[in-house]
């Protein structure tokens, strides 16, 4: 569940300042989990998620599928 707030940024900072230490730490942890700064980190995260969802497939099967996908993309770019 998410809440959409439309408040000025300074007001938000003021509200955060009023939080207790434990609440600020929880907020910091949550924000750090969501913070992905580079495409490499986003790619790594995506690979981890895919790995979990596709654990039943062997490494060879995955590599074969990746090679096939690359070939298909390269072929479609030429046409």
Question: What is the C-alpha separation between 18 and 12, in angstroms, rounded?
Answer: 10
Structural domain contains residue 24 = no
Looking at the 3D structure of the chain, how many domains does it have?
1
The pLDDT score that the predictor gives to residue 10 is: 84
The pLDDT score that the predictor gives to residue 38 is: 79
Helix ranges (H only) for the chain are 9-17, 21-34, 39-53, 59-78
The pLDDT score that the predictor gives to residue 23 is: 92
The pLDDT score that the predictor gives to residue 5 is: 65
- What is the extent of the structural domain holding 58? 39-78
The pLDDT score that the predictor gives to residue 36 is: 66
Is residue 51 pLDDT above 70, yes or no?
yes
Own/partner contacts of 49-53, CB < 8 Å, gap of 24 or more, are none
The pLDDT score that the predictor gives to residue 56 is: 87
Structural domain contains residue 64 = yes
Structural domain contains residue 28 = no
9 vs 2, residue with greater confidence: 9
Question: What is the C-alpha separation between 77 and 69, in angstroms, rounded?
Answer: 12
Question: What is the C-alpha separation between 6 and 31, in angstroms, rounded?
Answer: 18
> Mind listing the pLDDT tens digit for each residue in 57-68?
888 888 888 889
Structural domain contains residue 31 = no
Q: What is the dihedral of CA 22, 23, 24, 29, to 10 degrees?
A: 90
């Amino acid at each position: 569940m998410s809440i959409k707030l439309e408040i000025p940024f300074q007001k938000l900072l003021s509200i955060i300042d009023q939080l207790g230490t434990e609440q600020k730490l929880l907020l910091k942890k949550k924000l750090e989990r969501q913070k992905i700064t580079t495409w490499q980190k986003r790619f790594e995260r995506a690979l981890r998620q895919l790995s979990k969802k596709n654990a039943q497939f062997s490494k060879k099967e995955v590599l074969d599928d990746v090679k096939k996908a690359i070939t298909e993309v390269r072929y479609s770019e030429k046409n």
